[in-house]
Structure 1
Amino acid sequence: MLSVFCSPARYVQGREATRFLASELQRLGFVGKALIIASHSPREVLFPVWQTTFSVCELTFEILDFGGECSFSEIARGKDEARRVGASLIIGVGGGKVLDTARAVASELCLPIACCPTTASSDAPCSALSVVYTEKGVFEKCLYYRRNPDLVLVDTSVIAKAPVRLLISGMGDALATYFEAEASIRAHKKNVVGGASTLAAATISELCYRTLLKDGVAAVAAARAGVVTPAFERIVEANTLLSGLGFESAGLAVAHSVHNGLTAAPETHDRLHGEKVAFGTLVQLVLEGRDSGLLNEVLGFCLSVGLPTTLAELGLEAMSMEQARAIAERAVAEGESAHNEPFEVTAQMVMDAMFAADSLAKSVKAGECV
């Protein structure tokens, strides 16, 4: 099996990076008309900046307001609008679902794509895939593309003004990167782009975890103040670039499968992607039989930054055995990344690990020893 590593063609991060969007696109040789797919709040904040930065280049733009869910109907709407305005480039501006939609539109129309996340809530911006949900928010499938984005531009001045919960959720998503990479590598399973992991991907995944432990609490403090600090910049990079490169080029495992299973429970629909992945990470570590020192370290990190660690915090305090089985069955469905572990994973194992992780977290929160 060949080793494969992938990444966006260009990654740009820093204060007021949006001012350089048009010049970065010009640097990559793009001209014509861009369709900007954007959610409402970023549009309100960034429209004046777009007007200024695009006025001095050979690019013009039109805007499509995002409908709220990365669904097949929303992707079709984006394609129709891109054709209507004669777009030669797609730009996604907003959270993970906006960027997933923009990537899907660009891929299906064979157009270049620039991703401009306005939150650091997931590792979606750098990837060559989209997670598609039903219009009711239930996970449907992943779409995989031939290449990663042409540009990822991360404006930390904008991200610092986003709700703190989104940054914390991004840390939950990034938390899984190292442990899922380890499992996939131990099992000699293919990564998301169809090859074996490289040393670079494995190292990036570990660096992602170490950065979370080192800078997570300080970054949350900066986010609460709405300011950009070195720790904040590093966590934004960990959530966006390190986690993005790590999960895609090293692999996924149980943590994201548990997330996908949890989306089948309506009670979790108001919980963010990374919040569910964080709990999925705890489930994976319990299922793998990891030692108490590591479990305490991961639980301690989650508690220190405010990530959910119990079923009740995901809205599932009264989860029945039937509902638990439905979640677990979805987590081990054919093609799910739960099967990237170096041993067989069954629905019963996932069920047991969910209840055990919940119990363990309750004990730690109550001050009991693990």
Structure 2
Amino acid sequence: MLPLTSYAWGSPGRYIQGAGELDRLAIHTEKFGKRAFAVIDEFFYKSFTERLNTLYENAGGAFLSFLYQTEITKELIEKASDEASGFSPDVIIGIGGGKALDTAKAVASRLSLPLVIIPTSASTDAPTSAMSIIYNDAHEHDDVYYYIKNPDLVLVDSQIIADAPVRFLVSGMGDALATVFEGRTSIRTNQPNYICGESGSYMRTRTAAAIAEECYRTIREFGVRAKIANELHVVTDALDAVIEANTLMSGLGFENVGCAASHVVCNGITAVPGGDKALHGEKVAFGVICQLLAENEDMKLIEEVIRFNLSVGLPVTLDDMGIAPTEENFDIISANPQETEWTREPFYMDAAKVKAVVKTAHELGKRYKKGL
């Protein structure tokens, strides 16, 4: 229990979401200046570089893109920062998935420049946050960079999300699913959030707790309909609702309230051979089941979460993520809990206890898939 006495809130300066907003990017960045440097995910690099070069030329500006590929490492951040510095931009833009966006955050922080974030899928809540998750060349979690401010603008083009693979949207629902449960745990144990860590430790605001609750309600109500819209590549109110939940509500919720065991299980799965094949939110969704079992939550709630996962296609077993349920893999997933956010839970967990929970979650998921 920490002696927290003050509250803190952090959020992007602006959030804009709607179909066709990418074509208005030069208008959105004009307030910062004419010269824009963009870190662009390799899957969109060629098409978006051509599109945005034309856009900025027509607006009388200058545009330079940097190819993001492989992994977000400290070396890649250094290279991108050097290229940006040589261009003397007025604003940094990140376009792509969570790792490309986190790279842009690091560049903007190093150069002390405004930051615009443009996710190309609604797969994680990374776009709104003031942090970057750093990996090494082996795709293993290496570090976390925390920044003194959130992005100045998060710009979401709903049509781009509708055209993205459905698996990304579903994964985002898995990440969003954890927001309320990890938030409730952080509140129960009076844990600090991730805001203004450079100046102290702070409690969540009531606003943040309410957003976390609404995030869960939104994905439960609209999740299946949003998935169907994504499959059809059309933008509907349901899809926009889930995009907002996956991106804005989940982002504000986790950063302003806090994470807990669900994300630790995710990190453990990432360390398992082949664990990088599952998306972040897929691993988190299975982690939610593990967390609820560890907390001895009411079985009705656990069943509600499992059935939601099954309804949209989120994992309920390790097999669903291509992970073999071996003793060795259980040991990797359960390692060193006292060095992780398992310590935010209201009870002590050692590796043996975590292993038991993960095994139980896997077996429970198997039974529900069989209709038991």
- Taking structure 2 as the reference length, what is the TM-score of the superposition? 0.94
Q: Which residue in the other structure is 1:189 paired with?
A: 191
How far residue 316 of structure 1 moved from its aligned partner, in angstroms, is 2.1
1:192–1:252 Cα contact (<8 Å) kept:
no
Q: Which residue in the other structure is 1:327 paired with?
A: 333
Q: Which amino acid aligns with 1:14?
A: G
Length, aligned pairs only: 363
Residues 45-84 of structure 1 correspond to what in structure 2 (within 5 A)? 45-57=47-59, 59-84=61-86
CA 264–333 in structure 1, closer or farther in 2 if over 3 Å, else same: farther
How many angstroms apart in 2 are the aligned matches of 1:349 and 1:227?
Answer: 45
Deviates more, 1:89-98 or 1:339-348: 339-348
How many angstroms apart in 2 are the aligned matches of 1:98 and 1:362?
Answer: 35
Residues 116-265 of structure 1 correspond to what in structure 2 (within 5 A)? 116-193=118-195, 194-265=201-272
How far residue 187 of structure 1 moved from its aligned partner, in angstroms, is 0.4
For 1:301, what is the secondary structure of its paired residue? helix
Q: Which amino acid aligns with 1:9?
A: G
How many angstroms apart in 2 are the aligned matches of 1:57 and 1:152?
Answer: 21
Deviations 1:283-317 (A, max 9, x none): 10111011110011100000000011101112222
User: Which consecutive residues of structure 2, in runs of 5 or more, have no partner in the other structure?
Assistant: 196-200
How many angstroms apart in 1 are the aligned matches of 2:65 and 2:312?
Answer: 35
Q: Which residue in the other structure is 2:18 paired with?
A: 14
How many angstroms apart in 2 are the aligned matches of 1:293 and 1:9?
Answer: 39
Percent identity, aligned pairs only? 42
- Taking structure 1 as the reference length, what is the TM-score of the superposition? 0.95
Deviations 1:120-177 (A, max 9, x none): 0000000000111111211112111100001100001111111111111111100100
How many angstroms apart in 2 are the aligned matches of 1:48 and 1:67?
Answer: 18
4+ residue runs over 4 A deviation: none
1:344 to 345, 348, 352: 348
How far residue 327 of structure 1 moved from its aligned partner, in angstroms, is 2.0
How many angstroms apart in 2 are the aligned matches of 1:65 and 1:357?
Answer: 40
Deviations 1:84-132 (A, max 9, x none): 2222321000000100111011112212111000100000000000111
Residues 283-322 of structure 1 correspond to what in structure 2 (within 5 A)? 283-320=290-327, 322=328
For 1:41, what is the secondary structure of its paired residue? coil
How many angstroms apart in 2 are the aligned matches of 1:311 and 1:89?
Answer: 42
How many angstroms apart in 1 are the aligned matches of 2:171 and 2:341?
Answer: 20
1:270 to 252, 260, 277: 277
Q: Which residue in the other structure is 1:3 paired with?
A: 7
Q: Which amino acid aligns with 1:190?
A: P
Q: Which amino acid aligns with 1:19?
A: D
How far residue 48 of structure 1 moved from its aligned partner, in angstroms, is 4.7
How many angstroms apart in 2 are the aligned matches of 1:74 and 1:161?
Answer: 28
Deviates more, 1:120-129 or 1:359-368: 359-368
How many angstroms apart in 2 are the aligned matches of 1:48 and 1:110?
Answer: 27
User: Which consecutive residues of structure 1, in runs of 5 or more, have no partner in the other structure?
Assistant: none
How many angstroms apart in 2 are the aligned matches of 1:80 and 1:148?
Answer: 22
CA 272–309 in structure 1, closer or farther in 2 if over 3 Å, else same: same
Deviates more, 1:59-68 or 1:158-167: 59-68
For 2:149, what is the secondary structure of its paired residue? coil
Deviations 1:191-221 (A, max 9, x none): 1224101111000001000001000000000
How many angstroms apart in 2 are the aligned matches of 1:117 and 1:168?
Answer: 15
For 2:62, what is the secondary structure of its paired residue? strand
Deviates more, 1:78-87 or 1:154-163: 78-87
